[in-house]
C-alpha cells in the first residue's frame, strides 16, 4: 500500500480503479470552482455560502478576514492545480494526492470545530461540504489503492 501512495517512479502508470480517476476529477474541478469564488467573488462567498456576517466586524477586522480568505483561496487553487497535473501527467500519484487532499480536508474540519466562526444561522448549503469532501476523498483513496479484478497485483 505504501508503494502505491509513494511510488518509486512518478509516471502515468495507474493501477487502481478507473472510478477513482473520475471521482478525483470531479472533486478537483469543484474545489477549483470554490477557490475561484474565494479569490474573485470573495464577499459573496463569505456572506452567502459561508454565512459569515462581515458587517458585525470592525472595518479593520473585516478587511483582514477578506484578505486571509483570499489567501486561503489561492492556497486551494495551487493545491488543486497539482491535482490537475496528477490527473493529466502523473497518474501514479493519484493515491498520494487523494491522501494529501483528505488530510487537508479533515484537518480543515477539525480546525473549524476547534475554532468556530460566528455565522448568521442562514444555511446557504443544506449539508456540510467538509464532511462530503472528506468522505469522497477517503472513498477515492480506497478505490485508488485497490487492485481491480483481473489486474495482476503490482503490474
pLDDT score, position 1: 78
Given this model, what pLDDT does residue 149 score? 79
Q: Does residue 13 contact residue 153 with C-beta atoms inside 8 Å?
A: no
- pLDDT at site 117: 82
Task: Supply the pTM of this predicted model.
Answer: 0.86
Residue 129 has a pLDDT of 83
pLDDT tens-digit readout, 23-78: 999 999 999 999 999 999 999 988 888 888 888 899 999 999 999 999 999 999 99
Would you place residue 122 in the very low, low, confident or very high pLDDT band (cuts 50, 70, 90)? low
Residue count of the chain? 155
Give residue 118's Cα distance to chain centre: 23
Q: Please give, one letter per residue, the 3-state secondary structure of 98-144.
A: HHHHHHHHHHHHHHHHHCCCCCCCCCCCCCCHHHHHHHHHHHHHHHH
Residue 6 pLDDT grade (very low, low, confident, very high; cuts 50, 70, 90): confident
Amino acid at each position: 500500500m505504501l508503494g502505491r501512495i509513494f511510488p518509486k517512479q512518478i509516471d502515468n502508470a495507474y493501477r487502481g480503479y478507473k472510478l477513482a480517476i473520475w471521482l478525483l476529477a470531479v472533486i478537483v474541478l469543484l474545489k477549483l470552482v470554490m477557490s475561484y469564488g474565494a479569490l474573485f467573488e470573495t464577499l459573496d462567498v463569505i456572506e452567502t455560502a459561508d454565512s459569515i456576517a462581515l458587517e458585525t466586524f470592525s472595518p479593520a477586522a473585516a478587511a483582514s478576514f477578506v484578505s486571509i480568505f483570499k489567501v486561503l483561496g489561492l492556497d486551494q487553487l495551487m493545491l488543486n492545480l497539482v491535482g490537475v497535473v496528477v490527473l493529466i501527467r502523473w497518474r501514479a500519484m493519484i493515491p498520494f494526492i487523494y491522501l494529501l487532499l483528505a488530510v487537508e480536508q479533515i484537518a480543515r474540519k477539525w480546525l473549524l470545530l476547534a475554532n468556530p466562526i460566528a455565522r448568521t444561522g442562514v444555511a446557504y448549503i443544506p449539508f456540510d461540504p467538509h464532511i462530503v469532501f472528506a468522505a469522497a476523498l477517503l472513498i477515492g483513496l480506497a478505490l485508488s489503492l485497490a487492485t481491480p479484478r483481473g489486474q495482476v497485483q503490482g503490474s
